[in-house]
Each structure stands twice: as structure tokens, then as C-alpha cells.
Amino acid sequence: MPSARKPNPKSQRQISNDQIEPYVFPESGESLGNPNIPSQFNQFTANDQSGVPFNRSEQMSVKDDTYKQFVVGLQDIDEAIMYYFQNVIRPFVYQNGTRIEVPVIYGSPEKWKSVQKDGYYKDKNGAIMAPLIMFKRDTLEKNRSLTNKLDANQPNLYTAWAKTYNPKNDYSNFNVLTNRIPVKQFVVNVVPDYVNLTYACTIQTYYVEQMNKIIEAINYASDSYWGDPERFKFKASIDSYSTAIEVSDSTNRIVKGNFTIKLFGYIVPDTVQKDVTAIKKYNSKAQVIIGLETVNGQTEFVALSKKKSAASFPSSPTNGGGGGGGGGNIDPATLAYLNTNVQKPGTFVNPTTVTFASGWLLAPSGLPATSINNFSIFCNGALIESAAIVSFSVNMANDTTTLVINPNALGYSFDSQDEVVAIGKFNS
């Protein structure tokens, strides 16, 4: 029975890749497929079809998080202006010897239409409401002079801040012994869209004196950051004010003032597109540094930060029990061997051979025997890789060390003017 489901249309990417004919080997007749399609079996996955790259490792769940995703919308900006009017500017006038708080309302379409039609705002009974401040958002313009995401479907710039607690840092003895660096968790958000908004504002009062007092208070607050300090604040500026006295009939007299607020804001929308393509949070990498240390003649791997200083070791070996993490005593001879790192210049013999006028230290009991692995050899400052060394042997009778190289593997041969230096466990 045929499926009633509508087929998904091909994306432009899939249409273009369908035109590519993969190369076929003449001998075997096999084909490696289309190299532009990363999916197995040359099939487009749902993510390939959508054209939006997706990395599952970057999508961390926020199910049990107690914080809210950082979102700033247009309503938040409107509420910032309302908050500043009501809690910071707090306009008031005097009428008949009484101090009156000036109400501030947002100009919804119905209210603003009434103001445009009648010239002033009336209450439900048809009486003019004064004093009153009404504002509404007029325009929104994107500000590209600050920053730009370039591609919202694949954002590359983020803002991040560290959380105070991360459940991955649970206490354990391993963390204490190895001095493990805690993992920090960062909350990430996309770079906001910076916008310039304009708000049209109207003031209604009965007297010019009342109008003057309100304009003085608002003008003083211009060029400052408006909003709730616990949430968001945006810079607002006011350039000019216009005032007019209107008389509608023999009984009604109103003083009107108009001004425009220019506000510099930013928007971080709460959209599905952002949730799919943007990173929400990530963890830093933990680090444990491992080094070689000996305890009672036995080699153990512990954190370098847990090594004891030379002053803490006794002057003579003891048989005290030692635990992991550097808790025992180390033979001074073993400590001296580990700390030895002598540099010796080489003497040219032929294009493949150089000798050094020193023998090797013997490794104390419990440590690996001294070998080429305990030396680093340089020619004119460049390290000679071990793959290019044929032999590096010591002659204890003559107290000399001989280096033989493979010129083909090294890429060059020695010259009498070359400076060859070896650094390692030389005995003198």
C-alpha cells in the first residue's frame, strides 16, 4: 500500500551532489562514492537534508539546571522603560496644593488610536485623563556597527560565563592524590542582535507649570541607562520636546507635550532555530599531570605537583614503608641519578659518526637501564629523531660514547663545521 506521507523536497545541496558522478576504478569496477557526502552508504541524513550542521557533543541537556536561558525580547525593553519611569524618574505634579503621582501607561493600538483621533486620552467615562504619560514603540532598526553574527544558522561567536557549581567535581580520593584540576562548566549564549529603537511619548497636563516639571525630570534622566538593575539596562537619549496648549471646547483645556526616546538595545530571541544550532553550555577539560618518581627503589607514577623537595629527603636511605603518591623515602643515589642532565659537545669523525668524551651513569637498582632514551641529541639546534639513529653506544673502557646516524632517514650527513650536542645521563 503506498504511503500517504508527502515526500521531502530535495535541498539545493542534495540536487547539486546528485549531478556528481563518482570515479569508478577500471580494474575492479568499484567506486568510492561521492566524497562530498560524509554520510555512510552515500545517503543523506536528516541533518544533511536540512543543510544545518549539527554536532551532538555540543548539545548538552539543561533539564536539571536551575538557571533560565538568557533571553531578551522586545517586551523586556518596553518593561525597562516602564520600570525607569515608575521607579527612577517617578514624575509628579502639584494640583490644588496636593502632590499627585503621574501615571505612565503603554500606548496599545486602541489607546494610541484614541489619542490620535481626539488629540488626548480619555478614560472610560469620556473625561480627559491628566496628568498622564503615554509611550509606544515606533521603529526598530538593526545596528550593524557593533557586531554581526554573519550567519545565524551557524553562529561562531558566543558569550560565556562560568557557573559556581559543577556536579562533575564530586569529591574523590583520586582527585586529592593527583591534584586534579576541577572541571568548570560554562553557560553559553549567542551574540545578541544590537538594535536602535524609537519610542513616541505623549504628556498630558492641565497646566504649563505641571508640564514643565515633568519635562525637567525626564530631560535630567536622558543619556543614561534605563531599566531594572536586577535585569537589563539600555542607554536612552532624548533630543527635543514639543509643547502645545489645546482647547477642544469652552470647558476642556489641555497642555500636551511630545518627545521621542532613542534607545540602544539588544535582542536575544527564544527561537527553535537558535536552540538547534547554538551551544547552550560546555565543560572545560580536566587535567592530571603524571610524572616519574621512585619510592623505596620502586618506580611509581604520581602527580608532579605532589613531589617532595630535595630538602625533605633524609641524608641516608631507610627502610620505612612508603605508599603511593610519594609517601616513602628515596635513596640519595637514585635522586642524584634522576636529577642528572649533562650536556656534552660532539667530535666529528666522519659524515655519519660523532663521538662524545664521556661515558654513561649506571641506573640504580629498580630503574630501567640507561639507554638512548635517556638522551636528547641536537645538530645545529635541530633535534635528531630516534628513527634516524643507527646506534648510540658507550665504551666504558675508553669512557666515550659513539653516535652513528642514517643520512637517508635524517635527510643530511654530518659536516666538520656542524655543532652536535647530546644532553642526558653522562657521568662527567
pLDDT of residue 301: 45
pLDDT band at 257 (very low <50, low <70, confident <90, very high): confident
More confident residue, 6 or 177: 6
Instruction: Decide if pLDDT at 224 tops 60.
Output: yes
3-state secondary structure of 368: coil
Pairing of strands 92-95, 420-424: unpaired
All domains of the chain, ordered by start, with CATH? 12-51 (no CATH), 67-285 (3.30.2000), 290-337 (no CATH), 340-424 (2.60.40)
Q: What is the pTM of this model?
A: 0.50
Q: What is the DSSP string of 129-143?
A: P-SEEEEEEEEEEE-
3-state secondary structure of 424: strand
Single out the residue of 342, 420, 424 nearest to residue 381, CA to CA: 420
Residue 261 contacts residue 238 (beta carbons within 8 Å):
yes
Mean local confidence (pLDDT), 213-221: 90
**Bond before 131 cis per omega within 30 degrees:** yes
More confident residue, 354 or 299: 354
Give the DSSP H/E element, type plus range, for residue 8: none
* Residues 37, 35: Cα–Cα separation, whole Å: 5
Residue 301 contacts residue 291 (beta carbons within 8 Å):
yes
pLDDT tens sequence across 304-316: 433 333 333 334 3
pLDDT of residue 402: 93
